[in-house]
A and B are shown apart, each in its own frame.
Chain A
Amino acid sequence: MISYNDVLKVSKLYKDKQFDEVFSYITERIPSKNIIDFFKKCKAEKFVKTNDCIKLDVSKKELIIYEDNFLKNLPCDTEGIYHIDNYKIIIGYPNINSMLPASCIKQIQYKDIILNVNPDNYSHIPLSLIKKCTSYIETYLDKLNDTYVYHVNDEFCSRFSYNMAIIINIIYLCFVHDYESLIQQQLLLMQQYHFTYQDFNYLSINSINDYTRVINVKLNKNDGATK
């Protein structure tokens, strides 16, 4: 789970333009098998209730993006087996932590020896072999690039492209909030309602917003009764 304190942390990093750190922080908090898995998990964190949405200012108007409009056309997570030279190679969607084509290679089998490929062990794979996999890798990258970051309609849409800036933008849309508002909210709950700082490690931003909503309702009722 991405906690309130996680959101606070990435919002501060983003505010300070530490974009690489934003990426590292979130990818550590959300371990994933590959980029598809990562995006699905981000989406699940962001859209908990049916009416959850992302609000964007586009052309001085508010654009509301619901779950169905976000990361539209994200492909299903599939892998394929390809016979290249004397190797049997499993290729799939890339890892989130690497922008290199090699991260699309999941397994290499030579006779009975199997190598499960990951960024910790792929450094010795010759580029000549990677080059032979390129056309297969590109089919996965092409499908990935058919995704929309959001697609409300043909006028209000934003295409995905496999690069770090767009991945960070997706993280921003899912997890970054106004930092000042977050600490004000946190401070209020700690001062007035005895939340501890550690409590925010175990509660999501949605849960905290629920508490705040209930508190506001209660305060409004009290105000009405006083009048």
Chain B
Amino acid sequence: MTELLNKFKELCITNVILPDSEEITLSKLNVDFQTKLHSHFIDIPHDIENVDNVFILEYIKFINKYIIELHSERKFTHRDKLFLLDFWKQDVESSDTPSNLLEDLKSIDKLNEIKLKLQLKSMHIIIQFRQPILEDENKILTFLLEDSDRNKTDMDIVFFDTFRFLHSINIDDHEYLIDNLSLKELYELFLVFNVESLQQISKAISDTLENINDTRLLEANYSAFY
């Protein structure tokens, strides 16, 4: 009996070369992963408003934490995460379709080149972007999820999905680095933007990452491995 369990353990352990974090030894997804995910979900009250949004945010946080814990000394990037999600999905589906993902993921570097100019009332704004690291993504998610009194609206999803990519905001020639703002300040800043501006920020990101948008959808699809 132990022999078969050992065989499963051996089958699951593999080495993967991540795009930003070099080679890593990890486990392919197994029932242990599903059990942890199930335990994570079961603690979410089902009778709260916008429960779907909570599930999405909690799922992204769970996946990030799962990856971060693979190797606590490495700073895993958003690109590493997308690579791993695709790797796990291909494995779970036993798919051997050749993937061009590694090449496609290079589009994330193009985020650094964008200078998005916006006009917000009388203010001239320039936004610069970057690739987030998973620890920072989880800080934003923790901030959004820990305030239990506030409904988790669609705007929270928009905030996470856009502002995690922000490097700096230049307002009338004064540059604010996102890293120097608290999350509370960042969220308040987000609320200042009108829907049209937010759509422009979102479009700049999704246009740049157009060739990996299918993989990006996996990020919030909690049914993929559940």
Task: Give A residues with C-beta under 8 Å from B.
Answer: 98-100, 102, 108, 110, 113-116, 121-128, 130-132, 164-165
Tell me if A127 and B5 are in contact (CB < 8 A). Answer: no
Task: Give B residues with C-beta under 8 Å from A.
Answer: 1, 3-5, 7-9, 11-12, 28-35, 38, 42, 46, 91-94, 225
CB distance from B35 to the nearest CB of A (A): 6
Known contacts A100-B38, A102-B31, A131-B93; A126/B7 CB under 8 A: no
Which of A100, A116, A164 has the most chain B CB atoms closer than 10 A to its own CB?
A: A100
CB distance from B167 to the nearest CB of A (A): 36
Chain A residues positioned under 8 Å from B11 (CB to CB): 126
Chain B residues positioned under 8 Å from A115 (CB to CB): 1, 4-5
Which of B12, B28, B34, B35 has the most chain A CB atoms closer than 10 A to its own CB?
A: B34
Which of B3, B9, B28 has the most chain A CB atoms closer than 10 A to its own CB?
A: B3
Q: Complex formed: what's the CA distance from A130 to B93 in Å?
A: 10
Tell me if A99 and B38 are in contact (CB < 8 A). Answer: yes
Known contacts A108-B4, A113-B1, A114-B1; A122/B93 CB under 8 A: no
Chain B residues positioned under 8 Å from A98 (CB to CB): 35
Known contacts A100-B38, A110-B7; A123/B32 CB under 8 A: yes
Q: Complex formed: what's the CA distance from A164 to B108 in Å?
A: 41
Partner of B8, one of A126, A131, A165: A126
* Chain B residue with the shortest CB-CB distance to A112: B3
Chain A residues positioned under 8 Å from B92 (CB to CB): 127-128, 131
Which of B7, B8, B31, B32 has the most chain A CB atoms closer than 10 A to its own CB?
A: B31
* Number of residue pairs spanning A and B whose beta carbons lie under 8 angstroms apart: 67
Partner of A124, one of B30, B42, B91, B94: B30
What are the 8 closest A-B residue pairs judged by CB atoms, nearest first?
A123-B32, A115-B4, A124-B8, A127-B29, A102-B31, A113-B4, A127-B92, A125-B31
* Chain A residue with the shortest CB-CB distance to B5: A124
A-B contact pairs, 25 of them (CB 8 A): A98-B35, A100-B35, A100-B38, A102-B31, A108-B4, A113-B1, A113-B4, A113-B7, A115-B1, A121-B1, A121-B5, A123-B30, A123-B35, A124-B32, A126-B12, A126-B30, A127-B29, A127-B34, A127-B91, A127-B225, A128-B93, A128-B94, A131-B93, A131-B94, A165-B46
Tell me if B30 and A113 are in contact (CB < 8 A). Answer: no
Q: Complex formed: what's the CA distance from A114 to B2 in Å?
A: 9
* Chain A residue with the shortest CB-CB distance to B7: A110
Known contacts A131-B93, A131-B94; A100/B34 CB under 8 A: yes
CB distance from B95 to the nearest CB of A (A): 10
Tell me if A127 and B31 are in contact (CB < 8 A). Answer: yes
Tell me if A116 and B1 are in contact (CB < 8 A). Answer: yes
